[in-house]
Amino acid sequence: MNARMKNPAMVLPGALQALTSLAKATEQAGVPATTLYLVHLRSSQINGCGVCVDMHAKELRKAGESDERVFAVAAWRDTPYFNDAERAALALAEAVTRLADRSDPVPDEVWDEAADLYSEQELAALITAIATVNLWNRLNATTRQVAGSAW
């Protein structure tokens, strides 16, 4: 396996710094790091980004998450391993990642559940984190970045 090119964020001046700054901003909003890692992993699974699936699964394990929780992210609705706030974040991650899959991209029930459990700042961080990981997924998948390799 070989990448088509270096990751575009490494090639385009200022892009990596901008994406890193955006990620840091989401980390400051009060959403637990584990929840951010969960939504990163779920969006990356949906997008088929091997680099990000590998990275975010490792982040969760490094943060002390069990194999059961890491392995169950793809089937989170059918497992007992996630609390209500994590479930709301995962549902939001799926909706935001799959915008074109339905006529109402983020249904009220998904939004309302997340809005009941997260403050406006936390919601902003979740949406931004999901959008950012989707950007990374697209950069990595388009250029066929290889999981486990350094850029």
Cβ–Cβ < 8 Å for 133, 45: no
- Is residue 15 included in any domain, yes or no? no
CATH number, domain with residue 97: 1.20.1290.10
Number of independent structural domains in the chain: 1
- E strands, 49-145, are none
- State how far the Cα of 31 lies from the Cα of 4, in Å rounded to an integer: 35
Question: Residue 68 belongs to what domain range?
Answer: 31-142
Report pTM: 0.95
Residue 42 near residue 90, CB atoms below 8 Å: yes
Specify the 3-state DSSP secondary structure of 107.
Answer: coil
pLDDT (tens place) for every residue of the chain, 151 residues total: 899 999 999 999 999 999 999 999 999 999 999 999 999 999 999 999 999 999 999 999 999 999 999 999 999 999 999 999 999 999 999 999 999 999 999 999 999 999 999 999 999 999 999 999 999 999 999 999 999 876 5
